């Protein structure tokens, strides 16, 4: 059972998603392309080892992390909407604390909800990578899943969490390029009980 395509898709997808932060103007396109390649890689692995739960967990993780991004963007626009409706850009800070509360409250609530979604999303990514690790015998996947989950929890303390996520992203590249070219059908049958 060949994992060559998964190795290529995953390695390139992980590189693109890492580099997306360094590509001005086209970062979202590069990140989206990297994400699609990672989805293809995980799907390819799940199909080869006949474990759909691996892809399902990864997909749930991606959807939840994307949901976190949407929530924080909506919270920001909601806060700006309140500010405009209250005339904050024109009145300045005449209202003092009340004006600030109307601006900051939606952002804080949105950030908390986004953080919760992000942590749950990284938990599902961790589950998927732990299953991949046990099936293909590449322990780096387990480490990547752990770093994503811990980084997701610590992202609330921006510097630490982002650093842990960055290390996880770099190791994700290593994990995909460490995949074996193929896995024997008997190994998969023994593990799945078939």
pLDDT at res. 189: 47
Q: What pTM was estimated for this model as a whole?
A: 0.84
pLDDT at res. 166: 92
Residue 139 has pLDDT above 60, yes or no: yes
Long-range contacts of 112-117 (CB under 8 A, 24+ apart): 113/68, 113/71, 113/75, 114/68, 114/69, 114/71, 114/72, 114/75, 115/68, 115/155, 115/156, 117/64, 117/65, 117/67, 117/68, 117/71
DSSP 22: G
Q: Are 46 and 54 in contact (CB under 8 A)?
A: yes
Confidence of residue 92 (pLDDT cuts 50, 70, 90): low
Q: Give me the chain's average pLDDT, please.
A: 86
Q: pLDDT tens digits, residue range 36-79? A: 999 999 999 999 999 999 999 999 999 999 999 999 999 988 88
Name the residue ranges covered by the structural domains of the chain. Answer: 4-184
Which tokens hold the place of 37? 């390649």
């Amino acid at each position: 059972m060949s994992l060559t395509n998964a190795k290529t898709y995953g390695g390139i997808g992980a590189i693109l998603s890492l580099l997306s932060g360094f590509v001005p103007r086209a970062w979202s396109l590069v990140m989206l392309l990297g994400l699609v390649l990672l989805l293809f890689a995980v799907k390819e692995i799940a199909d080869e080892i006949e474990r759909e739960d691996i892809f399902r967990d990864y997909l749930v993780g991606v959807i939840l992390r994307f949901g976190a991004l949407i929530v924080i963007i909506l919270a920001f626009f909601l806060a700006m909407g309140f500010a405009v409706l209250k005339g904050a850009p024109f009145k300045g800070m005449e209202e003092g604390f009340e004006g600030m509360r109307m601006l900051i409250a939606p952002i804080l609530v949105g950030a908390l909800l986004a953080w919760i979604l992000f942590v749950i999303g990284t938990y599902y990514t961790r589950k998927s990578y732990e299953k991949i690790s046990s099936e293909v015998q590449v322990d780096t996947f387990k480490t990547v899943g752990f770093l994503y989950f811990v980084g997701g929890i610590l992202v609330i303390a921006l510097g630490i969490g982002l650093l842990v996520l960055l290390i996880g992203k770099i190791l994700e590249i290593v994990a995909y390029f460490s995949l074996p070219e193929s896995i024997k059908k008997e190994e998969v049958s023994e593990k799945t009980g078939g």
